[in-house]
Structure 1
């Protein structure tokens, strides 16, 4: 598997893809209180343990989650995971399953496995493979599973867990001997190899989210911290794969250009979901102020001179 960690060469021809006009645990039953969602600043949020997660769970956010799943799968060259799990894997846990795309795809790929997807929001589909089921649960609570798992999959939990040491300790205890945990995280401070991203509105937005996270008291640097914390919890044979995920179709490489197109679409669909709760609750901004800042960020998304990428 070829990882992307070297410098990405920008495409000198800017016409393609830069037209802004073109982008138009109550485990057995869900109590009514869980689906009585919280609405704030025009977005819908989870009611179960309300306020413990920064992102919304409305239709626009769900669309973005599905696109992001596609991006991650493309980034891994069509694979759902890199961990060398056995073909006869029996029990799998997908933490922070979101819309459940990964869990459903895994269940289709391994029909003999039992796949459990957990999330704070009951936004998963009702018609799924018979070996897949979803539970409303908070991974920061005590884990109450009676049987261990062969594989634990974690993706996009930055800013969701206050005590990562406890999280990894619980994951370690709930894995079978020889089992694997795999985690994919993305940094919220983005970069460019040529300095074109620095001091852009996209850069400013990331810095504002870092400020909000500090006030909130949860780390958004999971992408930098998880390897050491896994080792501290007792995991061995830890492998770290690093990727540069472009935002926009600026790379010359055709595969990276396609990835960048999709990731820019993720940004278009996700910007409000990413920051509205954080900036209004912890930076004192109004909804209107947030929307003005995000309009400026969207202009940057379509500036071919900005060669931004995210660390994954």
Structure 2
């Protein structure tokens, strides 16, 4: 984004210090927790992008309310989240995997999120509903199916699937250890067995593994009233 729009000021926010050492001059990073009260000036952003935050928030409405407040009138938000219940495009594999191991995987994450009050069920209308309640208009919801391996015949999809499949293969252990191991109390060996089942399905091209990516975007109305300023504290005269 910063490279494509050199005249824009781009701010990246993450809770962990994982930023690259070299960045364009119009890009800066901040270490912060997006769950907390934002310190950005009201009506100061033209565009806000959020992604991959499932299981991270205990108050999604607050996130959308803060995005609305931080955007200028006419500004846009974009939010991308995956459906963690993966799919098989091969009908023969659906009953065995999509309704078996893939369902078990998703249900465990749903249970972990429910247990700590930070839901993983964010692609079933939560984003659109939160945006609507915050005051956004022109809200659009799109679903893109992403291959999880190099099985597509189309060259672009094949390359995309190879990258995403490798990412999933390398990330399964990290995904599972905290929510399934620590929150739900599974032993390391039990987690490893489940991860091995997931990895075997994703590595086998006959199953045609895929996942749905949900994109929601919307606009702050041009006639949105300016946000209320916090009252100035009275000076202490004592």
TM-score tier (shorter):
0.7 to 0.9
Give the Cα–Cα distance (whole angstroms) in 2 for the partners of residues 220 and 195 of structure 1: 28
Out of 156, 172, 175, the position equivalent to 1:274 is: 175
Any gaps of 5 or more consecutive residues in structure 1?
A: 1-105
Please state how far the C-alpha of 1:198 moved relative to its aligned partner: 4.0
**1:124 is the counterpart of 2:24:** no
Q: Which residue of 2 aligns with 1:196?
A: 93
Tell me the secondary structure at the aligned position of residue 237 of structure 1: strand
Superposed displacement of residue 253, structure 1: 2.9
Aligned to 2:106: 206
**2:220 paired residue number:** none
* Pairwise CA distance, 1:250: 2.5
> Is the Cα contact below 8 Å between 2:2 and 2:24 reproduced in 1?
yes
Unaligned runs of 5+ in 2: 214-238
The structure with the largest strand share of the pair is 2
Matched ranges for 1:129-168 at <5 A: 129-146=24-41, 148-168=44-64
Whether 1:260 aligns to 2:161 is yes
Structure 1 residue 237: deviation in Å?
A: 0.9
1:257, CA displacement in angstroms? 2.2
Alignment correspondent of 2:222: none
Task: Name which of 98, 101, 118 aligns with 1:218.
Answer: 118
Deviations 1:259-303 (A, max 9, x none): 221111011111112111001122211223212221222111122
- Between the two proteins, the alignment pairs up a number of residues equal to 207
State the TM-score, normalized to the length of structure 2: 0.81
Q: Do the aligned partners of 1:169 and 1:233 also contact (CA within 8 Å) in 2?
A: yes
Matched, 1:172 2:68: yes
- Change in CA separation of 1:216 and 1:195 when aligned onto 2, cut-off 3 Å: farther
Compute the displacement of 1:127 (Å). 1.9
Q: Secondary structure at the match of 1:240?
A: strand
C-alpha contact 2:201 2:209 (8 A) present in aligned 1 = no
